[in-house]
Amino acid sequence: MDRVIDYLNSYLGDNDTVILGLSGGPDSMCLLDLLTKVKHHINIIICHVNHGIRPNNKKEEDFVSKYVSDLGLTYYVMHIDSYKNNSFSEEEAREKRYSFFRNIYNKTSAKCLMTAHHGDDLVESIIMRILRGSTLEGYAGIKKLSNWDGMEIVRPLIEVSKKDIYDYLESNNVPYQEDETNGLNSHLRNRIRHSILPLIQSEEKSYISKFLKYQTELLNGEKLIDLYIEKKYEEIVLDNIVNKKKYNNLTLEEQIKLLRMYFKRNYGDKLSLVQDKHIRLVNKFIKGNSSKLDLPGGYVLYNNSLKFYITLNKVIDKYCIKLGDRTILNNGYEIIRVNEANDNSNYEIRLNSKSLQLPLYVKAREPGMKMEVKNLNGSKKVKDILIDKKILGVQKDKVPVVVDSRGEVIWLPGVIKSKYDTHKDGNYDIIFRYVKGIDK
């Protein structure tokens, strides 16, 4: 585990806040113990999800609660009780789980969410996707670093095996809870774990490093292809509308890759709803005469002889609110005026009223909006800023935009600040903070 400790020491700094998804199982308990040994002073926030689908879920929750309480750590728990009644699919449960993590992430201005996926998880995921079919990026499996709806996710154990984890737990006397369903073969992942993975381990001791190399080769190839398709995309797609004449001039392979990029930008973190069959269906549909196609997740594709585009099958709320001492937004957040600010994150902004035209307003994003980003020469489209920040699909429309009376974009709360943000030692007379709405 020395490499994991070295990585944690290099990635984390003094007073960084880390959210850890802690199930109480061997993997997450191992990662928690490693985090307590980081040389820096860090703030560890524990998030536990009780899915309510196994008899041991309550026992695991009680175990986690007592363990982290004894360590004096901040602790949050979420129950997905309806999942046991089949009210949620596995994908919907995942969405709820990560939304829970993201809410805590935003509220605490954490550096990252850490999960305890390890090397065996990586191998199993790659094999599963080979069997089920995927994209180049999908075939690459679980990544060490990724982003979910603007939340940085880190998986420090991705280079170590399950055996390494059990050896560490035993050597360091770390307690844990075992998931009784891991021994069942009713799921494909468990069948791979029990039947295929042992054969791989017996053939190659360095199997995890070989799969990591496989992952790297796929992702590097994907990057090169994406750079090529990106240029085509800029020529063919304008304001999310696809020019059919230019699209039809592409080869079939280019069309499929461009569609995948288009779906990714529209669906964002809900991209898992889109399967290869949907891509093929859309490519066939737009060459016909039909004008409307319903897609997963409440999206709709509109098509005519000149263009096609995807949109959500509902009207996004448009609003414009004058900023006061406390402004409640429809995304569950508030913008409040405060007297002091020591936070340099994108959740607070310091402004000099002499540089602005008051009053200030918060509104929904509009097409063509541009912003002069702090420490960046020139302006950039708000849409492109959100794409760079991996805020995609419907999530783009949930980001509020703060403007002055000239329409100058001042701040994308929680995302990025403009050139108008003032250093804490500078001259300013207005401070706003973007917070999760707790009491309304």
CATH number at residue 295: 3.30.465
DSSP SS3 for 74: strand
In a domain, 273, yes or no: yes
Cα distance between residue 318 and residue 297, in whole Å = 21
Domain co-membership, 191 together with 138: yes
Domain co-membership, 24 together with 160: yes
Domain co-membership, 103 together with 156: yes
CATH classification of the domain holding 405: 3.50.40.10
CATH classification of the domain holding 81: 3.40.50.620
Cα distance between residue 390 and residue 384, in whole Å = 10
Q: Edge-to-edge strands of the sheet including 43-50?
A: 74-79, 43-50, 17-21, 112-114, 151-154, 145-148
Domain co-membership, 307 together with 400: no
* Long-range CB contact pairs, 329-334, < 8 A, 24+: 329/362, 329/400, 329/437, 331/398, 331/400, 332/103, 332/436, 332/437, 333/106, 333/400, 333/413, 333/414, 333/434, 333/435, 333/436, 333/437, 334/434, 334/435, 334/436, 334/437
Domain co-membership, 68 together with 192: yes
- The confidence score (pLDDT) of residue 409 equals 96
Domain co-membership, 283 together with 340: no
Q: How confident is the model at residue 440 (pLDDT cuts 50, 70, 90)?
A: very low
Q: Name the nearest CA neighbour of 60 among 167, 161, 180.
A: 180
Q: What is the mean pLDDT of residues 137-150?
A: 89
Does the global pTM surpass 0.85? no
In a domain, 234, yes or no: no
Domain boundary among 312, 343, 375: 312
Output the six-digit token pair for 217.
């080769």
DSSP SS3 for 39: coil
In a domain, 218, yes or no: no
Domain co-membership, 282 together with 409: no
Q: What is the mean pLDDT of residues 53-60?
A: 80
In tens, the pLDDT along 94-107 reads 778 888 999 899 88
Cα distance between residue 138 and residue 146, in whole Å = 13
Q: What is the mean pLDDT of residues 352-381?
A: 90
Q: What is the mean pLDDT of residues 339-356?
A: 89
Domain co-membership, 173 together with 53: yes
Domain co-membership, 30 together with 107: yes
Q: Report helix angle 276-285 to 252-267, nearest 10.
A: 110
Reply yes or no on whether the pLDDT at 85 is more than 70.
no
**What is the span of the domain harbouring residue 399?**
320-436
Domain boundary among 267, 295, 312: 312
Domain co-membership, 178 together with 35: yes
Q: What is the mean pLDDT of residues 375-383?
A: 87
Encode 281-292: b = buried (16+ Cβ within 10 Å), e = exposed. Answer: ebeebbeeeeee
DSSP SS3 for 9: helix
Backbone angles phi, psi at 388, to 5 degrees: -60, -35
In a domain, 203, yes or no: yes
Question: Any idea which of 148-162, 232-246, 267-281, 376-390 has the lowest mean pLDDT?
Answer: 267-281
State how many domains the chain has. 3
- The confidence score (pLDDT) of residue 393 equals 63
Q: How confident is the model at residue 82 (pLDDT cuts 50, 70, 90)?
A: very low
Cα distance between residue 197 and residue 360, in whole Å = 59
Q: Which residue has better confidence, 13 or 82?
A: 13
Domain co-membership, 399 together with 426: yes
Domain co-membership, 266 together with 336: no
